Amino acid sequence: MGSFADFHARSINDRDAFWAEQAKRVDWKVQPQQICDYSNPPFAKWFVGGETNLCHNAVDRHLAERADQPALIFVSTETNQEKTYTYRDLHAEVQRMAAILKDLGVVKGDRVLIYMPMIAEAAFAMLACARLGAIHSVVFGGFASHSLATRIEDASPKVIISADAGSRGGKGVPYKPLLDEAIKLSAHKPANVIMVDRQLVAFTPVAGRDVDYATERAKHMDTVVPCEWVESTHPSYTLYTSGTTGKPKGVQRDTGGYTVALASSIPHIYQGKPGGTFFCTSDIGWVVGHSYIIYGPLIGGMATILYEGLPIRPDGGIWWSLVEKYKVNVMFSAPTAIRVLKKQDPALLTKYDLSSLQALFLAGEPLDEPTAKWISEGLNGKAIIDNYWQTETGWPILTICNGVEKAESKFGSPGKAVYGYNVKLVDDQTGEELTGANQKGVLTIEGPLPPGNLQTIWGDDERFVKTYWKTVPGKLVYSTFDWAVRDEDGYFFILGRTDDVINVAGHRLGTREIEESISSHPNIAEVAVVGVADQLKGQVAMAFAIAKDTSGLTDAAARKTFEAEVMKVVDSQLGAVARPSRVLFVTALPKTRSGKLLRRAIQAVAEGRDPGDLTTMDDPAALQQIVDLIKT
């Protein structure tokens, strides 16, 4: 295949020919008439005029050659269930789910919101939507009613698919009360809710609205639902990601470009082969789950493991036992999970036969060198490959493409720019491109973004342009909002965010969203939330708040009680995933003389660093108060 440098250069300089070649990896009902239409920057249209279907490429097209090969392997250490679905079984189940949706009036272009735990039915639901040309929007099962309501309102789904409960550590986590409350809060009301009853938690169906999945499924055991062929540019799904404002952004993905991007990434990046097994430990609520639990491995003709459970239950060897049992070739996880496993008995790493495993890929947050070294040694020198990407991009921006040309990983670096991505480091003040080694700049991508990246923000083209493309002076480039440097060998090192989004164990959270939630407590006057470095989770949210009435906060016990009360507000509105590690009470927040919150300075002192130049600061005592609080 030649060198990766040539491969990458061709993807940029001879873009259309390069992607026309990759497009041969998928089935088209109608061949694309134009590879890339970039006549209206920054909006890119890929494989224009082509007609395809995501579900067909993930399921139906494999029936001729691999109908009896495992496709979906469902493992729950929460409910002690394990079930393998072949491509034939998966095809049948997806049609049953599609038939139920069809009965409820779902047609091409309708939205379906999926609020589900990591169960096989969640995969059937996503694929059934794709089959019908409906647009799914999966919401992470850990989100509370308020967060869920904003997403229901924005996506305006005709139908919602949910379950009675998820499970964590063997305990049922009820979903239904959260969903009912969210629908109550939302101005948009879905016509129907399909309920998968796992019998973990009792619930009361809403008459006339809620539909029992098992009852409906029984009616459609043999129903044939053909794939709806859609334009390549037809949206396949929306997925919400935290922004710097309280309103989440619905990342809108196309169909054809996404299918081609994933089809090319399986061999080029992950070195996956048809008949192999892919084990991604993420959740379908996140982009990694969409791309590399559901669509990517199936498009690549692989078996994919859908895992419900913790990495340490029944013990810290559970994942490795699955690698042995199912002969996993490609594993994909997050640095936080590896840091959790680091605390377990190291003998668990050598207990199982991991000879099938080619590489462990890690993404979701920066991979620190000690963690990378520990797992590399523990896995006897297996390749540990970092990935850097975003909900917006749908697949990696930076990594090592060993399927194109073997290359060494450098600990601490996610690697080089992936084919299709024209990555540039720029000066955030002047917009000037930084071409020298080890110069710090903002990581940007020149348009057009490659296939599989977001088309726009759902229902808000203006926000798409303003948020991503207008932040670098004098240039129309996509900003990742990350600082980075590139070494003399072309390897990138990510240095942290330029905006107010933090990364807690791979979950992206907008600090403004948490601030808005805390501010809704009647006794909070003002609050600042910052991301603080944490050994286990990468970052945690920490809040500094001013109380309106401090008369009851005279002792430590009272402050602790109030802190718990504030955390409960965040729990109920955004979910436990957004709960700050601490809420500390201050009498003033550090600001500039013009009243701008000095978040960077707060973050620095919370991390024990020098806050830097504070000549514009209005009241130095406010920052000193935070320093003193952190010490205690």
Look at residue 601 in the predicted model and tell me its pLDDT: 85
Cα three-residue angle 498-504-508, rounded to 5 degrees: 60
Going by the DSSP 8-state scheme, the letter that residue 493 receives in this structure is: E
CA angle 335/539/627 to nearest 5° reads 150
Q: Residue 249: which of 77, 463, 44 has the closest Cα?
A: 463
Hey, what are 80's tokens?
């002690």
Lowest-pLDDT range, 206-220, 247-261, 582-596?
582-596
Average pLDDT over residues 546-552: 89
Please name the residue ranges forming H helices in 451-510.
461-469
SS3 content of the chain, % helix, strand, coil (to 5): 35, 25, 40
**Are 533 and 607 within 8 A, CB to CB?**
yes
CB atoms within 10 A of CB 186: 20
Q: Give start and end residues of each alpha helix (H) in 459-598.
A: 461-469, 511-519, 556-574
Quick one: which of 310, 220, 299, 308 has its CA closest to 265? 299
Please choose, from the candidates 155, 161, 52, 166, the residue with its C-alpha nearest in 3D space to the C-alpha of residue 97: 161
Per CATH, 4-309+387-441 and 501-631 having the same topology is answered no
Of residues 198, 175, 164, 167, the one with CA closest to residue 77:
167
Indicate if the pLDDT at residue 499 is higher than 90. no
Residue-wise pLDDT for 266-279, tens only, equals 999 999 999 999 99
Q: 456-457 and 70-76 as β-strands: parallel, antiparallel, unpaired? A: unpaired
The fold adopted by the segment(s) 501-631 is GMP Synthetase; Chain A, domain 3 (3.30.300)
Please state the length of the chain.
632
Cβ proximity of 304 and 294 under 8 Å: yes
CATH number of 4-309+387-441: 3.40.50.12780
Question: Which residue, 61, 94, 53, 55, is CA-closest to 230?
Answer: 53
- Show the 3-state SS of 126-180: HHHHHHHCCEEEECCCCCCHHHHHHHHHHHCCCEEEEECEEEECCEEEECHHHHH
Q: What is the pLDDT of residues 62-120, one digit of tens each?
A: 999 999 999 999 999 999 999 999 999 999 999 999 999 999 999 999 999 999 999 99
pLDDT recorded at residue 503: 80
- DSSP annotation string for 340-408: HHTTS-THHHHSS--TT--EEEE-SS---HHHHHHHHHHTTT-EEEE-B--TTTSS-SEE--TTTS---
Confidence of residue 593 (pLDDT cuts 50, 70, 90): low
- Give the model's confidence band at 243: pLDDT under 50 very low, under 70 low, under 90 confident, else very high: low
Alpha-carbon 608 to chain mean position: 30
Q: How far lies 145's CA from each of 209, 564, 570, in Å? A: 18, 19, 11
Domain boundaries, the chain: 4-309+387-441, 501-631
Q: What is the Cα–Cα distance from 33 to 565, expressed in whole angstroms?
A: 59
Which residues, in sequence order, are CB contacts of 185 under 8 Å at separation 6+?
Answer: 145, 146, 149
φ/ψ region of 438 (left if φ > 0, alpha if ψ in -120 to 50, else beta) reads: left
Nearest to 233 by CA among 256, 217, 262: 256
3-state SS class at 211? strand
Residues pairing with 486 in the sheet: 492
Tokens at 566, concatenated: 């504030």
pTM of the complete model:
0.86
Question: Pick from 104, 132, 98: which is nearest to 223 by CA?
Answer: 98
- Look up residue 542 and give its two tokens: 């920490």
- Per-residue pLDDT tens for 39-63? 999 999 999 999 999 999 999 999 9
pLDDT digits (tens, 9 = 90+) for 407-436: 999 988 999 999 999 999 999 889 999 999
